[in-house]
Structure 1
Amino acid sequence: MRKYLNRSIFYQGDANIILPLVACYIGAFIFQSTIINKWFGYLKYQVLYTTTEKYLSSSNDIFILLLLVLYLSIIYMISVGIFKRKKWSTLLSGPFSKKDIRRRELILVIMSTMVFFIIYYILIISGYIRNSELISYLNVFNNVIILDFIRMFSISILVIGGLFFLDSLFSNLYMLIFSVVFIGIYSITLILNIEFLFNYYIRFNSIVKPITNFIFNYNYYNTKIIEFFTVAIMIILIGIILGLISSLLTNKIKVENMTNGIMFKIPKKVGLFMIYTFNGLLLSPFIVETINVNLFYSSMDRNVILIIGIICIIVLSVISYFIVRKIKGKRKSGLIT
């Protein structure tokens, strides 16, 4: 009897999130409908231009992709809840394992992702029916939709895997949101520094351009198919690997560690390293550029730029390290609450 009473907790929890999920589905339908109907509205002009300029835009531009990422993030937040400790301690007291909890969350996220794709294809099919005569002039319409599906599918796998991985490291939703924002900003500063300091040596654009083309190139006729599928497979593999790591971390999660923001030691050290180096990565390009323009009149050698840039990152990171250590010391002594 206890087993079935406790199992009802699962279904009761699902019932509490039905309305928020339905609201997300309706929101996804409204926004997708607006974007896709606008795309079909421009289709007649694209048919005219393809005869001379070979231009045919994708149906899922940056707005659809941003909507997909935002949608998956909100769905994930609704599915997992805000405070992990309270939820997990309640469910683990019944006949549930950690994997059961994670499996339920994954099923909810996958089902909601399928709803997003179903809405997308319903809108595409309805638009196709309304504009069938116009689309008959486009022999590649089906190819465009297939590539759009692959793009959205691969990004969905990456986002879901990334969210589950990060959620396995943090004790509550607030820390997860902060980490996603911080990691995003940190990644941008890191990429800018790599491009600024090392582009001459490693041809950085040859690495980044296929990825940016995958996300931002919406002209079908400019799509390099082999490059497109290579990036898609790479993104899917990264998402799957993050999901598998999350599964391994789930077994090591302890409810008593959920009082901490970060539940594992190695991620704590990585997080501190990112905090220490963030100011250096953020300010170094501006400092180097200022020195180059104002003192050397843009005549500095690339090797000198590289050396000064690395020195700036190291010096600023060391300063950040001592500042953080000083703040932590004051907190321990009670000077800062």
Structure 2
Amino acid sequence: MKKYLNKGLLYTWFNAAKVPIIIGIFIWGFIANSIIESNLTYLKNQISDSFFNGFRTTNLESYVMLGVIFIAIYFISQGINKRNTNMFLSSGPYTKRQIKYNELISILITLVFFIVTYVYIAFMAYIRNRGFLAIVDGYGAIILIEIVRMILIGIIGIVFMLTVDLLFSNSAIGFISMIFIIPISIFALFTKLYTTLNYIGVLNNFRLSYLFNSSDDEIQKNTAKILLECVSLRDVTVRELSIEIIIALSIIVIMIFIFNIAQRRYKLEHCNKIFSSKLNENIIVILVSTALGSFASLFFVSEFINNMQYKSGDYVPLTGVDLVKGLGADILCVVIVGFIAYKIMKKILKNIV
């Protein structure tokens, strides 16, 4: 990565992004302070009610605004006409690869500024509440875990953002897709996968065998997702934390690999009004149409499947003829609705681009 580092590109990026970065840091400072103070208030009530004094990590939903801030910084720094900006830079002494990798480096450096801001807010909260925190278990350790979460999940979000941006030549469409279209589509696909695994008995069998072979304490420890859920220090084990960090690092490596492929395929001469290439157009259209088919299946077929599952009064995974009927109806709905959505979107895009 060092050979792609260019001080001129870094200066250009931060010069364009300095105002949104400063505004974003101030906004994040208020949000971070609100998060920590809210957790401390919750802990005070918890101590008075149940005498539990464990400081807890924050729900990931609290960091949604941080993601929005980063997306805003990135798109403001690019300007409205991303394609013309990239063409101007590429016509100079910079290669397309240098431009994209310096964008990645710049936004990662920006993440460091936001993490330093969080550390400062957490330290000031400690100074203000030293007396109370003397009886609190794990404040420093939990803050450290929060920093690790911000680093790992932040890097995953940044690489995802840059990869999605490479699929589009239009900044506005890319912004909308990054915030709404692609995340909702991925969520719909995972929801469909989950419900399918559930009614064919895969998740149910796993859960039953897991409960059968585990004590209550083991279940509590093993089901605590440290980097994803709200947990106290008592729920954290070094082994599980290490495993989750390794998994997150593996995801980062895979996403950087995908980013590298996407930036190689990004060719300015192939850009149209919306997408950066015909292949990227097909990828997005297939993703969205499959997600629409999955959503339609959840809406229209779920009741039919549930009736077969609970026809005896209790939950029973589908087997035999019922499994064939349920799975067949599910797949048929996804294929038909997805195909119709695909044809409609392609026709609309053909008129636009």
TM-score (norm 1): 0.81
**Structure-1 separation of matches of 2:266 and 2:163:** 12
1:255-278 residue CA offsets vs partner (Å, 9 max, x unmatched): 222334222343332222223323
Q: 2:317 matched to 1:299?
A: no
Letter in 1 for 2:56: S
Structure 2 residue corresponding to 1:166, chosen from 159, 164, 182: 164
Structure 2 residue corresponding to 1:256, chosen from 259, 269, 281: 269
1:132-179 residue CA offsets vs partner (Å, 9 max, x unmatched): 232222342222122212222111010011112112222132232232
Structure 2 residue corresponding to 1:135, chosen from 112, 119, 133: 133
Letter in 2 for 1:241: I
**Structure-1 separation of matches of 2:231 and 2:125:** 19
**Structure-1 separation of matches of 2:155 and 2:349:** 38
Letter in 2 for 1:102: K
Secondary structure at 1:259's aligned position in 2?
coil
Secondary structure at 1:171's aligned position in 2?
coil
Letter in 1 for 2:327: L
Higher mean displacement: 10-19 or 183-192? 10-19
The residue aligned with 1:3 is none
Shift of 1:10: 7.3
**Structure-2 separation of matches of 1:249 and 1:292:** 39
Secondary structure at 1:272's aligned position in 2?
helix
The residue aligned with 1:232 is 245
The residue aligned with 1:243 is 256
In structure 2, the CA distance between the partners of 1:326 and 1:66, relative to structure 1 (3 Å rule), is: closer
**Structure-2 separation of matches of 1:211 and 1:44:** 23
The residue aligned with 2:340 is 319
In structure 2, the CA distance between the partners of 1:143 and 1:162, relative to structure 1 (3 Å rule), is: same
Secondary structure at 1:256's aligned position in 2?
helix
Secondary structure at 1:196's aligned position in 2?
helix
The residue aligned with 1:279 is 292
Identity percentage of aligned residues: 22
Superposition RMSD in Å = 3.3
The residue aligned with 1:98 is 96
Letter in 2 for 1:318: F
Q: 2:188 matched to 1:189?
A: yes
Q: Is the 8 A contact 2:159 2:256 kept in 1?
A: yes
The residue aligned with 2:21 is 21
The residue aligned with 2:331 is 310
The residue aligned with 1:35 is 35
Higher mean displacement: 78-87 or 242-251? 242-251
The residue aligned with 2:218 is none
1:30-65 residue CA offsets vs partner (Å, 9 max, x unmatched): 2222222232333433445664x575322x333532
In structure 2, the CA distance between the partners of 1:102 and 1:293, relative to structure 1 (3 Å rule), is: closer
**Structure-2 separation of matches of 1:22 and 1:167:** 23
Q: Is the 8 A contact 2:13 2:106 kept in 1?
A: no
Q: Is the 8 A contact 2:268 2:276 kept in 1?
A: no
Q: Is the 8 A contact 2:14 2:106 kept in 1?
A: no
TM-score (norm 2): 0.77
Secondary structure at 2:188's aligned position in 1?
helix
Letter in 1 for 2:181: F
Q: List alignment gaps of at least 5 residues for structure 1.
A: 1-6
Secondary structure at 1:268's aligned position in 2?
helix
Letter in 1 for 2:140: N
Higher mean displacement: 224-233 or 65-74? 224-233
In structure 2, the CA distance between the partners of 1:211 and 1:67, relative to structure 1 (3 Å rule), is: farther
